[in-house]
Structure 1
Amino acid sequence: MSKYDALTEFLKTKSEPDVVLTFDELEGIIGGLPSSARKYSAWWANKKSNQAHSSGWLDAGRTVRPDFKTRTAVFSLMSEDTEKLLRGEEADSPEQVDLQESYIESSISLERDLERHLIQHLEQLEPGLQLLGQQVSIEGGRIDILAQSAAGEKVVIELKVGEAKDAAIGQIARYIGWYQQTEGNRPRAILVAAGFPEPIRYAAKAIAGLQLLEYKVFFAFEDAGLK
Protein backbone atom coordinates (compact mmCIF):
# COMPACT_ATOMS: atom_id res chain seq x y z
CA MET A 1 0.00 0.00 0.00
CA SER A 2 1.39 3.37 -1.03
CA LYS A 3 1.38 6.33 1.33
CA TYR A 4 -0.36 8.26 -1.46
CA ASP A 5 -3.42 6.03 -1.03
CA ALA A 6 -4.25 8.21 1.98
CA LEU A 7 -4.46 11.20 -0.34
CA THR A 8 -6.77 9.29 -2.68
CA GLU A 9 -9.14 8.44 0.16
CA PHE A 10 -9.07 12.00 1.48
CA LEU A 11 -9.90 13.52 -1.91
CA LYS A 12 -12.71 11.03 -2.49
CA THR A 13 -14.49 12.44 0.56
CA LYS A 14 -14.58 15.90 -1.02
CA SER A 15 -17.38 16.93 -3.37
CA GLU A 16 -16.27 20.48 -4.21
CA PRO A 17 -14.78 21.05 -7.70
CA ASP A 18 -11.49 22.36 -6.30
CA VAL A 19 -9.74 21.21 -3.14
CA VAL A 20 -6.91 23.50 -2.03
CA LEU A 21 -4.26 22.10 0.31
CA THR A 22 -1.13 23.76 1.59
CA PHE A 23 2.09 21.80 1.17
CA ASP A 24 2.16 21.34 4.96
CA GLU A 25 -1.40 19.98 4.99
CA LEU A 26 -0.54 17.62 2.17
CA GLU A 27 2.54 16.46 4.04
CA GLY A 28 0.37 15.67 7.03
CA ILE A 29 -1.98 13.54 4.93
CA ILE A 30 0.66 11.44 3.18
CA GLY A 31 3.18 11.43 6.01
CA GLY A 32 5.96 13.32 4.28
CA LEU A 33 6.25 15.47 1.16
CA PRO A 34 9.51 15.16 -0.83
CA SER A 35 11.58 18.34 -1.07
CA SER A 36 11.44 18.05 -4.87
CA ALA A 37 7.65 18.54 -4.68
CA ARG A 38 8.19 21.96 -3.11
CA LYS A 39 10.53 23.06 -5.90
CA TYR A 40 9.84 21.33 -9.21
CA SER A 41 6.73 21.38 -11.39
CA ALA A 42 7.71 18.03 -12.92
CA TRP A 43 6.86 16.30 -9.62
CA TRP A 44 3.21 17.31 -10.13
CA ALA A 45 2.82 15.86 -13.63
CA ASN A 46 -0.71 14.49 -14.14
CA LYS A 47 0.55 11.27 -15.70
CA LYS A 48 1.11 7.93 -14.00
CA SER A 49 3.73 6.89 -16.56
CA ASN A 50 5.80 9.91 -15.49
CA GLN A 51 5.28 9.81 -11.74
CA ALA A 52 3.70 6.82 -9.99
CA HIS A 53 2.72 8.96 -6.99
CA SER A 54 0.31 10.92 -9.22
CA SER A 55 -2.13 8.04 -8.71
CA GLY A 56 -2.77 9.67 -5.33
CA TRP A 57 -4.95 12.30 -7.02
CA LEU A 58 -5.68 10.71 -10.41
CA ASP A 59 -7.33 7.67 -8.77
CA ALA A 60 -9.59 10.13 -6.93
CA GLY A 61 -10.70 11.59 -10.27
CA ARG A 62 -8.70 14.78 -9.93
CA THR A 63 -5.80 16.62 -11.54
CA VAL A 64 -3.46 18.95 -9.69
CA ARG A 65 -1.69 22.24 -10.27
CA PRO A 66 0.85 23.58 -7.78
CA ASP A 67 1.33 27.20 -6.76
CA PHE A 68 4.85 27.63 -5.44
CA LYS A 69 4.25 31.25 -4.42
CA THR A 70 1.44 30.37 -2.02
CA ARG A 71 2.86 26.89 -1.33
CA THR A 72 -0.45 25.25 -2.15
CA ALA A 73 -1.77 22.57 -4.49
CA VAL A 74 -5.20 22.74 -6.15
CA PHE A 75 -6.84 19.36 -6.84
CA SER A 76 -9.60 19.77 -9.45
CA LEU A 77 -12.29 17.28 -10.45
CA MET A 78 -11.73 15.83 -13.91
CA SER A 79 -14.21 16.48 -16.67
CA GLU A 80 -14.91 13.94 -19.41
CA ASP A 81 -12.45 15.75 -21.69
CA THR A 82 -9.78 15.59 -19.02
CA GLU A 83 -10.23 11.85 -18.59
CA LYS A 84 -10.02 11.38 -22.36
CA LEU A 85 -6.78 13.30 -22.55
CA LEU A 86 -5.18 11.36 -19.72
CA ARG A 87 -6.18 8.13 -21.47
CA GLY A 88 -4.55 9.43 -24.64
CA GLU A 89 -7.86 9.96 -26.46
CA GLU A 90 -9.04 13.07 -28.29
CA ALA A 91 -11.24 15.49 -26.37
CA ASP A 92 -14.18 17.41 -27.77
CA SER A 93 -13.75 20.90 -26.32
CA PRO A 94 -11.15 23.67 -25.81
CA GLU A 95 -10.68 22.37 -22.25
CA GLN A 96 -8.41 19.73 -23.76
CA VAL A 97 -6.03 22.47 -24.87
CA ASP A 98 -5.95 23.99 -21.37
CA LEU A 99 -5.16 20.64 -19.75
CA GLN A 100 -2.55 19.82 -22.37
CA GLU A 101 -0.81 23.12 -21.70
CA SER A 102 -0.87 22.40 -17.96
CA TYR A 103 0.58 18.93 -18.48
CA ILE A 104 3.28 20.23 -20.81
CA GLU A 105 4.23 22.89 -18.27
CA SER A 106 4.66 20.27 -15.54
CA SER A 107 6.80 18.03 -17.77
CA ILE A 108 8.82 20.46 -19.86
CA SER A 109 11.48 21.14 -17.21
CA LEU A 110 12.43 17.46 -17.12
CA GLU A 111 12.52 17.25 -20.91
CA ARG A 112 14.71 20.34 -21.17
CA ASP A 113 17.07 19.04 -18.49
CA LEU A 114 17.31 15.70 -20.27
CA GLU A 115 18.03 17.33 -23.64
CA ARG A 116 20.60 19.67 -22.13
CA HIS A 117 22.38 16.81 -20.41
CA LEU A 118 22.50 14.64 -23.52
CA ILE A 119 23.82 17.48 -25.69
CA GLN A 120 26.68 17.93 -23.25
CA HIS A 121 27.32 14.19 -22.89
CA LEU A 122 26.50 12.57 -26.23
CA GLU A 123 29.22 10.01 -25.62
CA GLN A 124 26.97 8.47 -22.97
CA LEU A 125 24.67 7.38 -25.77
CA GLU A 126 27.38 6.24 -28.15
CA PRO A 127 31.15 6.82 -28.25
CA GLY A 128 32.17 9.24 -30.97
CA LEU A 129 28.82 11.01 -31.40
CA GLN A 130 29.11 14.67 -32.35
CA LEU A 131 26.34 17.27 -32.19
CA LEU A 132 25.02 18.60 -35.50
CA GLY A 133 22.00 20.46 -34.13
CA GLN A 134 19.11 20.51 -31.67
CA GLN A 135 15.42 21.12 -32.33
CA VAL A 136 16.16 20.76 -36.05
CA SER A 137 13.10 21.58 -38.18
CA ILE A 138 12.48 19.46 -41.28
CA GLU A 139 9.40 18.89 -43.41
CA GLY A 140 8.47 15.84 -41.36
CA GLY A 141 8.63 17.59 -37.99
CA ARG A 142 11.27 18.75 -35.52
CA ILE A 143 14.15 16.54 -34.41
CA ASP A 144 15.19 16.86 -30.77
CA ILE A 145 18.88 16.15 -31.38
CA LEU A 146 20.70 15.52 -34.65
CA ALA A 147 24.16 13.98 -34.33
CA GLN A 148 26.87 12.37 -36.41
CA SER A 149 28.47 9.04 -35.57
CA ALA A 150 32.18 8.29 -35.54
CA ALA A 151 31.64 6.64 -38.93
CA GLY A 152 30.14 9.84 -40.37
CA GLU A 153 26.48 8.77 -40.54
CA LYS A 154 23.63 10.96 -39.30
CA VAL A 155 21.92 9.87 -36.08
CA VAL A 156 18.43 11.10 -35.19
CA ILE A 157 17.84 11.23 -31.42
CA GLU A 158 14.27 11.57 -30.11
CA LEU A 159 13.54 12.22 -26.42
CA LYS A 160 10.34 11.36 -24.58
CA VAL A 161 9.40 12.20 -20.99
CA GLY A 162 7.81 9.11 -19.47
CA GLU A 163 7.14 5.91 -21.39
CA ALA A 164 7.44 5.91 -25.18
CA LYS A 165 4.20 5.71 -27.16
CA ASP A 166 3.25 4.68 -30.69
CA ALA A 167 3.53 8.27 -31.90
CA ALA A 168 7.26 8.28 -31.14
CA ILE A 169 7.84 5.36 -33.52
CA GLY A 170 5.87 7.21 -36.20
CA GLN A 171 7.94 10.35 -35.68
CA ILE A 172 11.21 8.48 -36.12
CA ALA A 173 9.93 6.73 -39.24
CA ARG A 174 9.06 10.14 -40.77
CA TYR A 175 12.46 11.60 -39.94
CA ILE A 176 14.32 8.62 -41.40
CA GLY A 177 12.14 8.64 -44.52
CA TRP A 178 12.63 12.36 -45.08
CA TYR A 179 16.41 12.16 -44.92
CA GLN A 180 16.48 9.08 -47.12
CA GLN A 181 14.37 10.82 -49.76
CA THR A 182 16.04 14.25 -49.67
CA GLU A 183 19.67 13.23 -49.10
CA GLY A 184 19.72 9.67 -50.37
CA ASN A 185 21.19 8.36 -47.13
CA ARG A 186 19.27 6.61 -44.38
CA PRO A 187 20.19 7.86 -40.88
CA ARG A 188 20.17 5.73 -37.77
CA ALA A 189 17.90 6.60 -34.88
CA ILE A 190 17.98 6.47 -31.09
CA LEU A 191 14.80 6.76 -29.00
CA VAL A 192 15.36 7.79 -25.37
CA ALA A 193 12.49 7.37 -22.87
CA ALA A 194 11.77 6.30 -19.30
CA GLY A 195 10.40 2.96 -20.50
CA PHE A 196 9.24 0.94 -23.48
CA PRO A 197 6.02 -1.12 -23.22
CA GLU A 198 6.06 -4.41 -25.10
CA PRO A 199 3.87 -3.15 -28.00
CA ILE A 200 6.36 -0.33 -28.58
CA ARG A 201 9.20 -2.83 -28.71
CA TYR A 202 7.31 -4.78 -31.38
CA ALA A 203 6.87 -1.63 -33.47
CA ALA A 204 10.51 -0.61 -33.01
CA LYS A 205 11.67 -3.87 -34.60
CA ALA A 206 10.15 -2.70 -37.88
CA ILE A 207 12.70 0.15 -38.09
CA ALA A 208 16.12 -1.23 -38.93
CA GLY A 209 18.87 0.04 -36.65
CA LEU A 210 16.55 1.81 -34.19
CA GLN A 211 18.09 1.76 -30.72
CA LEU A 212 15.96 2.07 -27.56
CA LEU A 213 17.62 3.61 -24.51
CA GLU A 214 16.03 4.10 -21.08
CA TYR A 215 16.96 7.09 -18.94
CA LYS A 216 16.98 7.10 -15.15
CA VAL A 217 16.41 10.20 -13.03
CA PHE A 218 18.00 10.63 -9.63
CA PHE A 219 18.77 13.51 -7.29
CA ALA A 220 22.21 14.29 -5.89
CA PHE A 221 22.66 16.51 -2.85
CA GLU A 222 25.62 18.48 -1.58
CA ASP A 223 26.16 20.72 1.42
CA ALA A 224 25.71 24.33 0.32
CA GLY A 225 27.35 25.54 3.52
CA LEU A 226 26.80 28.74 5.47
CA LYS A 227 29.41 31.46 5.31
Structure 2
Amino acid sequence: MAPKPDRMYQHGVVTGGYEYHPGTALPHRRRVDWRGSFSRDELSEALATSTKYVGTLLELTPHAAELATLTQLGEPAQPIAEVITSEVQEQLAFQMEKQLEEFLVHNWASTSLGREFDIYEEDGQPVGQQYLTDTGPMDILAISKDRTRLLVVELKRGRASDAVVGQIQRYMGYVQDALLEPGQSVEGVIIAQEDDLRIRRALSMARSIRFMKYRVEFHLESITA
Protein backbone atom coordinates (compact mmCIF):
# COMPACT_ATOMS: atom_id res chain seq x y z
CA MET A 1 0.00 0.00 0.00
CA ALA A 2 1.12 3.56 -0.68
CA PRO A 3 -0.45 6.80 0.61
CA LYS A 4 -1.82 9.31 -1.92
CA PRO A 5 -3.18 12.85 -1.53
CA ASP A 6 -6.71 13.44 -0.22
CA ARG A 7 -6.53 10.63 2.37
CA MET A 8 -6.37 7.92 -0.29
CA TYR A 9 -4.32 4.71 -0.34
CA GLN A 10 -3.17 2.96 -3.49
CA HIS A 11 -2.72 -0.80 -3.36
CA GLY A 12 -0.85 -3.19 -5.59
CA VAL A 13 1.23 -6.34 -5.87
CA VAL A 14 5.04 -6.49 -6.01
CA THR A 15 5.82 -8.14 -9.35
CA GLY A 16 9.58 -7.77 -9.75
CA GLY A 17 12.88 -8.09 -7.98
CA TYR A 18 15.12 -5.35 -6.68
CA GLU A 19 16.39 -2.81 -9.20
CA TYR A 20 19.07 -0.15 -8.77
CA HIS A 21 18.83 3.10 -10.76
CA PRO A 22 21.83 5.29 -9.86
CA GLY A 23 21.58 9.05 -10.15
CA THR A 24 17.80 9.15 -9.68
CA ALA A 25 15.66 10.45 -6.82
CA LEU A 26 14.60 6.89 -5.95
CA PRO A 27 17.51 4.61 -6.88
CA HIS A 28 16.29 1.52 -4.94
CA ARG A 29 13.14 0.16 -6.57
CA ARG A 30 10.86 -2.83 -7.04
CA ARG A 31 8.21 -3.15 -9.76
CA VAL A 32 4.62 -2.93 -8.51
CA ASP A 33 1.39 -3.73 -10.34
CA TRP A 34 -0.96 -1.08 -8.93
CA ARG A 35 -4.52 -2.42 -8.69
CA GLY A 36 -6.65 0.41 -7.28
CA SER A 37 -7.21 2.73 -4.34
CA PHE A 38 -9.47 3.32 -1.33
CA SER A 39 -10.06 6.10 1.17
CA ARG A 40 -8.51 6.27 4.62
CA ASP A 41 -12.02 6.97 5.87
CA GLU A 42 -12.95 3.39 4.94
CA LEU A 43 -10.37 1.91 7.31
CA SER A 44 -11.14 0.61 10.76
CA GLU A 45 -9.50 2.54 13.58
CA ALA A 46 -6.99 -0.27 14.15
CA LEU A 47 -5.92 -0.45 10.47
CA ALA A 48 -5.80 3.35 10.14
CA THR A 49 -3.47 3.49 13.14
CA SER A 50 -1.24 0.77 11.70
CA THR A 51 -0.84 2.58 8.36
CA LYS A 52 -0.37 6.18 9.45
CA TYR A 53 3.44 6.20 9.22
CA VAL A 54 4.57 7.01 5.67
CA GLY A 55 7.56 5.13 4.26
CA THR A 56 7.45 2.43 6.90
CA LEU A 57 7.48 -1.34 6.40
CA LEU A 58 4.27 -2.60 8.00
CA GLU A 59 3.08 -5.96 9.33
CA LEU A 60 -0.57 -6.01 8.21
CA THR A 61 -1.35 -9.72 8.55
CA PRO A 62 -3.76 -9.11 11.49
CA HIS A 63 -5.85 -6.97 9.11
CA ALA A 64 -5.90 -9.48 6.25
CA ALA A 65 -9.68 -9.94 6.15
CA GLU A 66 -10.34 -6.20 6.11
CA LEU A 67 -7.72 -5.62 3.43
CA ALA A 68 -9.20 -8.37 1.27
CA THR A 69 -12.54 -6.53 1.37
CA LEU A 70 -11.05 -3.09 0.74
CA THR A 71 -8.92 -4.23 -2.19
CA GLN A 72 -11.71 -6.43 -3.62
CA LEU A 73 -9.28 -9.26 -4.20
CA GLY A 74 -11.96 -11.86 -3.62
CA GLU A 75 -10.66 -15.35 -2.90
CA PRO A 76 -7.08 -15.55 -4.23
CA ALA A 77 -5.44 -18.88 -4.95
CA GLN A 78 -3.13 -18.17 -2.03
CA PRO A 79 -4.86 -16.91 1.14
CA ILE A 80 -4.47 -13.15 1.53
CA ALA A 81 -2.82 -13.55 4.95
CA GLU A 82 -0.14 -15.74 3.42
CA VAL A 83 0.38 -13.32 0.52
CA ILE A 84 0.82 -10.39 2.90
CA THR A 85 3.09 -12.36 5.22
CA SER A 86 5.37 -13.55 2.41
CA GLU A 87 5.67 -10.06 0.94
CA VAL A 88 6.34 -8.52 4.36
CA GLN A 89 9.01 -11.12 5.09
CA GLU A 90 10.65 -10.53 1.70
CA GLN A 91 10.65 -6.76 2.20
CA LEU A 92 11.99 -7.15 5.74
CA ALA A 93 14.83 -9.37 4.52
CA PHE A 94 15.66 -6.78 1.87
CA GLN A 95 15.68 -3.94 4.42
CA MET A 96 17.90 -5.86 6.83
CA GLU A 97 20.40 -6.72 4.10
CA LYS A 98 20.54 -3.06 3.10
CA GLN A 99 21.19 -2.09 6.73
CA LEU A 100 23.97 -4.68 6.94
CA GLU A 101 25.45 -3.34 3.70
CA GLU A 102 25.34 0.28 4.90
CA PHE A 103 26.91 -0.65 8.23
CA LEU A 104 29.71 -2.64 6.59
CA VAL A 105 30.53 0.12 4.09
CA HIS A 106 30.46 2.80 6.79
CA ASN A 107 32.76 0.77 9.04
CA TRP A 108 34.83 -0.81 6.28
CA ALA A 109 38.20 0.49 7.50
CA SER A 110 37.79 -1.16 10.90
CA THR A 111 36.93 -4.64 9.54
CA SER A 112 39.30 -7.47 8.68
CA LEU A 113 38.38 -7.00 5.01
CA GLY A 114 39.24 -3.32 5.24
CA ARG A 115 42.78 -4.17 6.26
CA GLU A 116 43.30 -5.95 2.93
CA PHE A 117 40.92 -4.20 0.56
CA ASP A 118 39.53 -0.77 -0.29
CA ILE A 119 36.07 -0.04 -1.68
CA TYR A 120 36.40 0.01 -5.48
CA GLU A 121 36.86 3.44 -7.07
CA GLU A 122 36.55 4.89 -10.55
CA ASP A 123 38.06 8.30 -11.34
CA GLY A 124 38.83 8.72 -7.65
CA GLN A 125 35.22 8.22 -6.57
CA PRO A 126 34.03 5.23 -4.49
CA VAL A 127 31.58 3.29 -6.66
CA GLY A 128 31.90 -0.17 -5.14
CA GLN A 129 28.62 -0.16 -3.21
CA GLN A 130 25.81 -1.62 -5.35
CA TYR A 131 28.17 -1.82 -8.34
CA LEU A 132 25.99 -2.41 -11.38
CA THR A 133 26.63 -5.44 -13.60
CA ASP A 134 24.76 -6.93 -16.55
CA THR A 135 23.15 -9.47 -14.18
CA GLY A 136 22.21 -7.04 -11.42
CA PRO A 137 24.01 -4.95 -8.77
CA MET A 138 26.60 -6.62 -6.56
CA ASP A 139 26.46 -5.59 -2.90
CA ILE A 140 30.08 -4.46 -2.59
CA LEU A 141 33.06 -4.49 -4.94
CA ALA A 142 36.51 -3.97 -3.42
CA ILE A 143 40.11 -4.05 -4.58
CA SER A 144 43.21 -5.12 -2.68
CA LYS A 145 45.58 -2.43 -1.51
CA ASP A 146 48.25 -3.72 -3.90
CA ARG A 147 45.66 -3.52 -6.76
CA THR A 148 46.11 -7.17 -7.75
CA ARG A 149 42.85 -8.70 -6.47
CA LEU A 150 39.23 -7.65 -6.93
CA LEU A 151 36.76 -8.84 -4.29
CA VAL A 152 33.03 -9.38 -4.77
CA VAL A 153 31.11 -9.23 -1.46
CA GLU A 154 27.62 -10.75 -1.19
CA LEU A 155 25.62 -10.13 1.99
CA LYS A 156 22.80 -12.23 3.45
CA ARG A 157 20.93 -11.19 6.58
CA GLY A 158 20.52 -14.66 8.11
CA ARG A 159 21.45 -18.14 6.91
CA ALA A 160 23.05 -18.28 3.49
CA SER A 161 21.65 -20.73 0.94
CA ASP A 162 23.81 -22.64 -1.52
CA ALA A 163 22.01 -20.66 -4.27
CA VAL A 164 24.09 -17.62 -3.30
CA VAL A 165 27.19 -19.41 -4.60
CA GLY A 166 25.84 -19.27 -8.15
CA GLN A 167 24.82 -15.65 -7.64
CA ILE A 168 28.26 -14.51 -6.54
CA GLN A 169 29.90 -16.54 -9.31
CA ARG A 170 27.84 -14.59 -11.87
CA TYR A 171 29.16 -11.32 -10.45
CA MET A 172 32.70 -12.67 -10.38
CA GLY A 173 32.31 -13.69 -14.02
CA TYR A 174 31.32 -10.13 -14.88
CA VAL A 175 34.34 -8.73 -13.02
CA GLN A 176 36.61 -11.20 -14.84
CA ASP A 177 35.26 -10.25 -18.26
CA ALA A 178 34.72 -6.51 -17.81
CA LEU A 179 37.04 -5.17 -15.12
CA LEU A 180 40.17 -7.28 -14.67
CA GLU A 181 43.43 -5.89 -15.94
CA PRO A 182 46.53 -8.00 -16.73
CA GLY A 183 47.95 -9.49 -13.56
CA GLN A 184 44.73 -9.15 -11.58
CA SER A 185 42.43 -11.88 -10.23
CA VAL A 186 38.93 -11.96 -8.78
CA GLU A 187 37.67 -13.65 -5.63
CA GLY A 188 34.47 -13.59 -3.61
CA VAL A 189 33.24 -13.58 -0.04
CA ILE A 190 29.78 -14.41 1.24
CA ILE A 191 28.88 -12.78 4.56
CA ALA A 192 25.95 -14.15 6.52
CA GLN A 193 24.90 -14.87 10.07
CA GLU A 194 24.81 -18.64 9.59
CA ASP A 195 25.83 -21.32 7.12
CA ASP A 196 24.76 -24.93 6.65
CA LEU A 197 26.01 -28.18 5.16
CA ARG A 198 24.74 -27.41 1.66
CA ILE A 199 26.61 -24.15 1.30
CA ARG A 200 29.73 -25.67 2.85
CA ARG A 201 29.61 -28.45 0.24
CA ALA A 202 29.10 -25.91 -2.57
CA LEU A 203 31.96 -23.73 -1.35
CA SER A 204 34.29 -26.73 -1.10
CA MET A 205 34.22 -26.76 -4.92
CA ALA A 206 34.58 -22.99 -5.28
CA ARG A 207 38.03 -22.31 -3.88
CA SER A 208 38.04 -18.63 -4.85
CA ILE A 209 35.01 -17.93 -2.63
CA ARG A 210 35.16 -17.82 1.15
CA PHE A 211 32.50 -17.54 3.81
CA MET A 212 32.47 -15.13 6.75
CA LYS A 213 29.98 -14.82 9.61
CA TYR A 214 28.84 -11.59 11.16
CA ARG A 215 27.67 -11.23 14.73
CA VAL A 216 25.26 -8.63 16.07
CA GLU A 217 25.89 -7.47 19.61
CA PHE A 218 23.53 -5.43 21.76
CA HIS A 219 24.56 -3.81 25.03
CA LEU A 220 22.69 -1.97 27.76
CA GLU A 221 24.53 0.34 30.09
CA SER A 222 23.30 1.75 33.38
CA ILE A 223 23.68 5.49 33.78
CA THR A 224 23.68 6.82 37.30
CA ALA A 225 22.76 10.39 38.09
Task: Give the TM-score taking structure 2 as reference length.
Answer: 0.54
CA distance in 2, matches of 1:163, 1:148: 26
CA separation of 1:136 and 1:194: change in aligned 2, threshold 3 A: same
Larger Cα-atom Rg:
2
Gaps of 5+ in 1: 1-66, 78-91
Residue 169 of structure 1 and its aligned partner are, at CA, apart by: 0.5
Match in the other structure for 1:135: 130
- Cα drift, residue 93 of structure 1: 5.8
Judge conservation of contact 1:179–1:186 (CA < 8 Å) in 2: no
Aligned partners of 2:84 and 2:61: how far apart in 1? 15
Distance 1:114 1:225, change over 3 A: farther
User: Any stretches of 5+ residues in structure 2 without a counterpart?
Assistant: 1-49, 54-58, 65-76, 121-127
1:121 and 2:99 matched: no
Match of 2:165 in 1: 169
Confirm whether residue 145 of structure 1 aligns to residue 145 of structure 2: no
**Relative to 1, partners in 2 of residues 1:213 and 1:97: Cα closer, same or farther, differing over 3 Å?**
same
Contact map agreement 1:146 1:157 (CA 8 A) in 2: yes
- Give the corresponding residue for 1:101: 87
Question: How far 1:112 moved relative to its partner?
Answer: 2.5
The number of residues matched between the two structures is: 147
Separation in 1, partners of 2:51, 2:90: 17
Distance 1:197 1:146, change over 3 A: same
Kindly tell me: are residues 199 and 106 of structure 1, through their superposed partners in 2, closer, same or farther at Cα, counting changes over 3 Å?
same
Shift in alpha-carbon separation, 1:75–1:97, aligned structure 2, 3 A: closer
- 8 Å CA contact 1:131–1:147 kept in 2: the answer is yes
Match of 1:20 in 2: none
Quote the offset at 1:208 in angstroms.
2.4
Residue 158 of structure 1, CA deviation: 0.4
Structure 1: how far apart are the matches of 2:96 and 2:223?
Answer: 23
1:136 deviation in Å? 1.2
Partner secondary structure for residue 190 of structure 1: strand
The structure richer in helix per residue is: 1
Which residue, 147, 155, 160 being the options, matches 2:156? 160
Q: Once the two structures are superposed, what CA deviation does each residue of 1:55-83 show, in whole Å capped at 9, x if it has no partner?
A: xxxxxxxxxxxx5979x985589xxxxxx
Q: Which amino acid aligns with 2:156?
A: K
Letter in 2 for 1:212: F
**Distance in 1 separating the partners of 2:130 and 2:161:** 20
Deviation at 1:223, TM superposition (A): 5.8
More strand by share: 2
Alpha-carbon distance in 2 for matches of 1:111, 1:175:
18
Q: What TM-score results when the alignment is normalised by the length of structure 1?
A: 0.54
**Distance in 2, Cα, partners of 1:74 & 1:93:** 14
Deviation at 1:224, TM superposition (A): 7.8
